[in-house]
Amino acid sequence: MSDRVVVVTGGGSGIGRATARTFAARGDQVVVVGRREEPLVETGAGEPLVADVADADGIAAHVRERYGRLDVLVNNAAIVRGGPLGTVTTQDVHDLLATNLVAPIMLTQALLPLMAEGAVIVNVSTAIGQRGWPNNSVYPAAKAALESLTRSWAVELAPRGIRVVAVAPGAIATPIAANQGWSPEKTADVRKWQVAHTPLGRVGEPDEVAWAIAGLAAGEAGFVTGVVLPVDGGAVVG
């Protein structure tokens, strides 16, 4: 039981919800950030904080006033929009980069003054950032940039004793398809393709990603920094 202060963004569903519950079960004080109150309450772990992840200063002010420090930041919030070249709009690109890349940068920067030696930043990327994904190129490109930031921040913050790591989930059973408005038929087709390209032959569970996040943030992983850990059933190497 560690009693650390942990911030998890996008904590109202999927990987974020599982991660918040995992840290809370380990005795941590968890601030669960999301845009809608009801899903955060349903997460049932820690303190719900209704906020847009882009409101870096507001989130940082809340953590500073309520807790006075931060031990673990999990940059999990993300949106997914896709389409082949020729259909991508400027707004699509702006929204994807704003949430998946700019928001983690600004939130990390705003919360950094609350982090001391031993703190950990965990960025949630995607396994497809390490491969080609036709007809959905902007999303993995933003996540690949987040992986680059992970490595750069790891070196930059190492003298302060702050570790920076990332996980790269593959096909995980989350509401991502429903959030994009996919039909049941399209969802089934995508899942079939994902399973076919996953050596372990199945879709992963949010708890399996949460386990990796919590493990990388644990004190026992104190000599691990700058890594991007695939949690993808072997999809990257298969």
Query: Could you give the residue numbers annotated as active site?
Result: 139
Report the candidate in 67, 149, 135, 45 with the shortest Cα–Cα distance to residue 107.
149
For residues 41 and 89, is the Cβ–Cβ distance under 8 A?
no
How distant is the alpha carbon of residue 90 from its chain centre?
Answer: 24
For residues 31 and 53, is the Cβ–Cβ distance under 8 A?
no
Coil/strand/helix, residue 178: helix
**Cβ contacts of residue 181 below 8 Å, gap of 6+?**
none
Q: What separation in angstroms does the CA of 126 have from each of 8, 133, 181?
A: 17, 11, 20
Q: 29 has which bridge partners? A: 5
> Residues of 119-154 as b/e, b for ≥16 C-beta within 10 angstroms?
bbbbbbbbbbbbeeeeeebbbbbbbbbbbebbbebb
